[in-house]
A and B are shown apart, each in its own frame.
Chain A
Amino acid sequence: MSVKHTLAPFSAWLQAFSKPFTLPDRHGYREGADRYRGWHINDTKTCIGCGSCAEICQNVAIDMVPVDDPVTGDSGLRPRVDYGRCCWCALCVDVCPSGSLGMSNEYIWVEADADAFRYIPGVDPKPWDSAEKGWRQEEGFDLVDHQRVPMPMLDPAERTRTWAEVVVGYSREEARREASRCVECGLCVAACPAHMHIPDYIAAIRDGDDIAALNIIYDNNAMPEMCGKVCTRRCEGVCSIGVQGEPLAIRWLKRYVTEQFDDLSDVVHAEVERVGEGKKIAIVGGGPSGVTVAYYLAIRGFDVTIYEALPQLGGATFFGIPKYRFPMPSLEKQVKLLTDSGVTIVTNHRVEKDEMRQLLRDHDAVFIGTGLMKPYGLRAPGEDLPGVMYALDMLRDHHIGKTIDVGKKVVVVGGGNVAIDASRVSLRLGAEVTIAYRRRKVDMPADEEEIEDAEAEGIKIVTQAIPLRVEQADGGRLDFIWGPAEMIQEEEGRRPRPKLIEGVENHMIVDRVIVAIGQGAEHSWMPEEIAEKIADKRGWITVDENGMTAYDGIFAGGDLVNSTADAISAIADGLRAVVGIQKYVGVLPASEDEGDEPVAIAT
């Protein structure tokens, strides 16, 4: 025990005369650090309710609960955090696809009641709702992949010289990589009119099980290859990854799966009971809705016959969609599956009034899916001049193999998908094409992607151009005269209407004027007593929640019914009718839902 070692410890008394370490505030409260992980905050306006936070939370601390005032277009759910589970790892914040979730730097919460530590950030008001500081998402650390695997496409210059498909399609590797971006939120399922099981088949693709993926797809889509190529893909519009990055290429993934198999009959095995043996169903119109009804009833053992006026099934997807988007073999593949499933197909056969009456007598139910086949006229002076043609007619003639002469220069009137298709077909037939559209480019009903492709291929788009009249010009050509329009917004939320600016007339000398302004129903084949009951003034047909019209035993679907003019809605109508028909013929209890397989329709 040396003197040094006895005396040295007494230097500790120096501390008694210096400042204590104790924090001065009586309650020891300090503001949390700038990126402290404290209580959750959520911007409910930008939150889309995708549930990725709940998915990544390893403690199951986050539940998605319905809130009173959801913003339209999301799931209507918001995360509720249970601080009896949370571990403040902030993975939920980092994964949040919309970037709405954050954490404040507040950290004191004391309660006597264990059940009080549960709240919906942003909905239940809390003192820290407006906290500026705290843990937020940061560039450079993403738990989800925001970048889409690029889709290989033909070069625009290349495309116009050939009818080959523009989109090349993913390879297996690319598809698996793209599929692994999915966060499985399921917002797409709600957005898809047919409520396809999108996350499920994407998961199957990711796991490399293409057969399973195809079967999941066939759960509620009988024309998936068509959808994989030309769907309007509302699913991608709501995709949660798309909020901060590029949405998942759901359509291309579906396309990838369907392209993997040359003969679907070997692969698709629907596991359903054949409840419909002995029941006969007639389907008028072989478009997507009709095909859907036919397929799902046929696999249930119904005796199904499709009557189609054109030489091929497919309806608008056959005669309307050009082959560089939807090649013939793809369609034939799907029709073959239909045949293999036992559907009788009668093509080149137009049902007329008496036959329709006969069909009703012979069958347990009849489904009408004739679509909107009659183009609306231009109704401008000169519309009956030779050289003015209708896009629908032209596309149909082209697809059934007729030769079409479009001359050197073409103007297409209209801005829908039909107009774009007609333009691109004309382009490939060797013409120089201009699109004249009454409204602005943003108002065009055609797919944005289509418009971009068309422009890339060299199609000019003239907007706010109101066709006034068509006159005969020299050399058998036509003088297309149009006036400029101004856009007026009459009601909030509706698309603005064009209004002619009088006094100005523009001329365009062309060989052909192709009209694609719109199309309506054509019911001349329908017996009056039926039309009287089911059709409204515009020719549209109203159906109930089972897809049945006001006429007992007649079901309807497709463009006739839903007016959205896209294939997936038609398929959804078909699915609804499948359930409805089964209930109608008594093989399915009327009150109960069928369950989720294979026809799942959310009410």
Chain B
Amino acid sequence: MDTKPQSTLPVLVEPPRGAEPHAPLGRGYFLGETRRQQPLPMRESLAKIKNWFRANSLWVMAYGTGCGGIELRPLTTARFDFERFGMAMRPTARQSNVLIISGYLAVKSLKRVIRAYEQMPSPKWVVGLGSCTINGGMYWDSYNTINRLDLYLPVDIYIAGCMPRPEALLAGFGELMAMIKRGEANGWNHYLENFDWYKENQKKVINDWNMPDYNW
């Protein structure tokens, strides 16, 4: 199981609005991973080692997008201390592996989140925090928020709650680590493979799309 089948995602958008990625997909600079191969036994054990390293050193992007940011403070500080598990906050997208979407996303925030996500180096993971990322939560009928995060970004794991307590976050990250070690957390690959679909969805809600179309 590496990706959710496309069909389970509700199709939100009509045909793309035109703007094509500026480089054809698959010929980008670092797109080797989209050409997937049957892993050799040797590569598989190597992948295991890689995944072990990745799982035990999760660097979290320090971006509190919504209410959930408030519970990230106890999580990162003394009471719950997620550094015990090798996690750390990174203030720059270029060095982060985990993007926490802490609750609802206003459309304006979504644009920044997408930008940040695309700047993060692979492999990268998205953690959806709370009801809002799952199905809209409190803001299901708000005119300025998105309801389902997985239409716009590949979410690897959801933690239910509003807000999820730090303990729940720890459990969620524990599960994410386990998934990474098992090689199941492949949202980033899903993003690459369904890049056009995600881009269409994103452009559907973001009206002032003035970002370059990254081709990964």
The reply to whether A59 and B134 form a contact with Cβ atoms under 8 Å apart is: no
The reply to whether B81 and A111 form a contact with Cβ atoms under 8 Å apart is: no
B155, B164, B166: the one within 8 Å of A114 (CB): B155
The reply to whether A109 and B159 form a contact with Cβ atoms under 8 Å apart is: yes
Interfacial residues of chain B within 127-184, with CB under 8 A of chain A in the complex: 128, 131, 133-138, 140, 148-150, 155-162, 164-168, 170-172, 174-175, 179, 184
A20, A23, A84, A88: the one within 8 Å of B134 (CB): A84
- Contacts A84-B136, A85-B136 given; does A110 touch B159 at CB 8 Å: yes
Residue interface mask A77-118, B partner, CB < 8 A = 1: 000001111111000000000000000000111111111010
* CB nearest to B9 among chain A residues: A114
Find chain B residues with CB under 8 A from A114 CB. Answer: 128, 133-135, 148-150, 155, 158
A85 to B170, CA, bound (A): 22
Give the total of B residues in contact with A, Cβ under 8 Å: 40
Stretch from A25-33, A326-334, A362-370 that touches the partner: A25-33
- Contacts A22-B79, A109-B160, A111-B160 given; does A59 touch B140 at CB 8 Å: yes
Chain A CB within 10 Å, residue with most, of B131, B149, B157, B185:
B131
Q: Is B78 an interface residue, CB under 8 A from the partner? A: yes
- Contacts A23-B79, A59-B137, A110-B175 given; does A83 touch B160 at CB 8 Å: yes
Q: Is A131 an interface residue, CB under 8 A from the partner? A: no
Find chain B residues with CB under 8 A from A17 CB. Answer: none
Interfacial residues of chain A within 65-84, with CB under 8 A of chain B in the complex: 82-84
- Contacts A59-B137, A83-B134, A85-B137 given; does A108 touch B167 at CB 8 Å: yes
Find chain A residues with CB under 8 A from B133 CB. Answer: 114
Interfacial residues of chain A within 225-266, with CB under 8 A of chain B in the complex: none
* CB nearest to B150 among chain A residues: A114
Find chain A residues with CB under 8 A from B160 CB. Answer: 83, 109-111, 117
Min C-beta distance of B202 to chain A, whole Å: 17
B134, B135, B157, B167: the one within 8 Å of A30 (CB): B167
B137, B166, B184: the one within 8 Å of A28 (CB): B166
A23, A85, A113, A115: the one within 8 Å of B80 (CB): A23
The reply to whether B135 and A85 form a contact with Cβ atoms under 8 Å apart is: yes
A49 to B114, CA, bound (A): 43
B135, B158, B165, B184: the one within 8 Å of A110 (CB): B158
* CB nearest to B132 among chain A residues: A84
Q: Is A21 an interface residue, CB under 8 A from the partner? A: yes
* CB nearest to B187 among chain A residues: A112
A20 to B84, CA, bound (A): 12
A88 to B165, CA, bound (A): 12
A22, A28, A84: the one within 8 Å of B131 (CB): A84
* CB nearest to B165 among chain A residues: A107
Residue interface mask A185-209, B partner, CB < 8 A = 1: 0000000000000000000000000
Interfacial residues of chain B within 52-94, with CB under 8 A of chain A in the complex: 78-81, 84
Min C-beta distance of A17 to chain B, whole Å: 15
Min C-beta distance of B157 to chain A, whole Å: 5
Residue interface mask B180-207, A partner, CB < 8 A = 1: 0000110000000000000000000000
A112 to B178, CA, bound (A): 12
The reply to whether A113 and B4 form a contact with Cβ atoms under 8 Å apart is: yes
The reply to whether A22 and B84 form a contact with Cβ atoms under 8 Å apart is: yes
The reply to whether A29 and B159 form a contact with Cβ atoms under 8 Å apart is: no
Find chain B residues with CB under 8 A from A113 CB. Answer: 4, 158
The reply to whether A29 and B78 form a contact with Cβ atoms under 8 Å apart is: no
Min C-beta distance of A292 to chain B, whole Å: 43
Q: Is B7 an interface residue, CB under 8 A from the partner? A: no
Find chain A residues with CB under 8 A from B174 CB. Answer: 27
B158, B164, B166: the one within 8 Å of A111 (CB): B158
Q: Is B37 an interface residue, CB under 8 A from the partner? A: no
Interfacial residues of chain A within 525-540, with CB under 8 A of chain B in the complex: none
Q: Is A270 an interface residue, CB under 8 A from the partner? A: no
Find chain A residues with CB under 8 A from B79 CB. Answer: 21-23
A26 to B133, CA, bound (A): 27
A507 to B172, CA, bound (A): 81
Q: Is A60 an interface residue, CB under 8 A from the partner? A: yes
The reply to whether B165 and A21 form a contact with Cβ atoms under 8 Å apart is: no
The reply to whether A22 and B78 form a contact with Cβ atoms under 8 Å apart is: yes
B8, B78, B138, B157: the one within 8 Å of A112 (CB): B157
* CB nearest to A114 among chain B residues: B134
* CB nearest to B164 among chain A residues: A107
A223 to B80, CA, bound (A): 69
Residue interface mask A2-21, B partner, CB < 8 A = 1: 00000000000000000011
- Contacts A21-B79, A84-B131, A117-B134 given; does A112 touch B140 at CB 8 Å: no
Q: Which 8 A-B pairs have the closest CB atoms?
A: A84-B135, A84-B134, A21-B78, A109-B160, A83-B160, A22-B81, A110-B172, A110-B175
Interface pairs (12), CB distance under 8 Å: A21-B79, A22-B81, A22-B84, A29-B171, A59-B137, A84-B134, A110-B160, A110-B172, A112-B158, A114-B148, A114-B149, A117-B158
Spell out A's residues near B (CB within 8 Å).
20-23, 26-30, 58-61, 82-88, 107-115, 117
Spell out B's residues near A (CB within 8 Å).
4, 8, 78-81, 84, 128, 131, 133-138, 140, 148-150, 155-162, 164-168, 170-172, 174-175, 179, 184-185
Q: A61-B131, A87-B138 are in contact. List 11 more A-B contacts (CB 8 A).
A: A60-B140, A82-B135, A83-B134, A83-B161, A87-B162, A107-B161, A108-B167, A108-B168, A110-B158, A112-B156, A115-B8
